[in-house]
Amino acid sequence: MTYLVLKALHIIFMVTWFAGLFYLPRLFIYHRAAEDTISLDRFVVMSRRLYGIMTLGAALTLVFGVAILFIRTDLLTTGWFHVKLVLLLGLAVYHGYCKRIMRELAEGRCTRSDRWLRLYNEVPVLPLFGIVFLAILKPTL
């Protein structure tokens, strides 16, 4: 029962984290398009708050994931789990890079195009598919 509760909490906070990973880059696109000071300031505040929430989601996803590993140490010996960890590491890098873009936008020095930001916004989709399919199917790798 403890394992299932931890797994449920892990999934709940993963959803919170991914909500931020999907929406924060969308805020970057809106921020880039804004021209008046009030809108620019609003997007700085919204981005900062959302980044805090998604960071909390990421941290709690990690906490409950590690707690699961204490119960299910056998996961560490499976190939699919290693691939999942690599995808998660990539998402952590993406998460950190979001903070960099957020700072650049807040300081008015972001030189990335709208097209680049739109493409960047789609990046978390691939790891999400990979992580979910790996966790559900548990393929032998």
> Which two tokens mark 79?
């190939």
Give the model confidence (pLDDT) of 1-60 as tens digits.
899 999 999 999 999 999 999 999 999 999 999 999 999 999 999 999 999 999 999 999
Cα distances (Å, whole numbers) of residue 24 to 9, 20, 72, 113, 115: 23, 6, 33, 16, 16
pLDDT tens-digit map of 63-85 = 999 999 999 999 999 999 999 99
Query: How distant is the alpha carbon of residue 52 from its chain centre?
Result: 12
Q: Which two tokens stand for residue 135?
A: 């966790």
Rg (CA), the chain: 17
List all residues 6 or more positions away from 24 whose beta carbon is below 8 Å from its beta carbon.
Answer: 47, 50, 51, 54, 98, 102
pLDDT of residue 43: 97
- Return the number of other C-beta atoms located less than 10 Å from residue 43's C-beta: 21
